[in-house]
Amino acid sequence: RNAMTASHAVMKKQIDMKDYTSSMLLGKHVKLFDACPTCNGCAGVLLSRNGTLGQDPVISGSDSRIDNIHLKSRQNLLAMEALKTSVDFALKQAQVSKNDVSIYEVHDAYSIMAALSLEVCGFVSPGEALKFAKEGKIKLDGELPVSTFGGLKARGHPVGASGMYQVVESVLQLRGLAGANQVKNVKHVLCSSFGGAATTVASNVISI
């Protein structure tokens, strides 16, 4: 839905439950619309020690972690330990609580990744992510806006640049330049970007 008003989004198509359930099966429990479109794209960020444009957003917390690349070697496939540890450390460094996060930019390469990210990071209890979304709490005017320009699933996944896209989109939100996708009163944006199945995770808190 958020991609419909994002000028740089790839997937501008409203789908309903019928579209989803009738889409191609990619795996045992994965449908076509569960997967993100891989696309071309680039993003750039100018970092400055002292700031250049007045009241610049700052990277107030940052951390990266790794997990076992062999999924069968992980104790709990749903735990995504690298994500949890990375997010917890970045928030602690930023001195920001989960309740203070204005927006969460998730790495939603697949639907399950977005749902698990909300649960693993402690924004909702285990098993409650879908209910949280159905209640509209991840919408632009919801309790915790998620992927405000459509995320990987709809904005697109330019592999290698997706994490930087999250940072750029976060800065647009923090500066009030997100247009139709603007969230009100944005103070802190949490971004998480994955390599593989959360095998490597980089998390950033961007604040103003």
Q: pLDDT for 78-127, tens place per residue?
A: 888 899 999 999 999 999 999 999 999 999 888 889 999 999 999 999 99
CB-based contact 204:86 (threshold 8 Å): no
Q: Distance (Å, rounded) from C-alpha 204 to C-alpha 103?
A: 12
Q: Mean pLDDT across the stretch 37-48?
A: 80
Is the predicted pLDDT of residue 51 greater than 70, yes or no? no
- In the chain, the percentage of residues whose pLDDT exceeds 90 is 48
Is the Cβ–Cβ distance between 150 and 3 less than 8 Å? yes
How confident is the prediction for the chain on average, in pLDDT? 88
CB of 56 closer than 8 Å to CB of 48: yes
Q: What is the mean pLDDT of residues 10-23?
A: 85
Structure confidence at residue 53 (pLDDT): 61
pLDDT given at position 121: 94
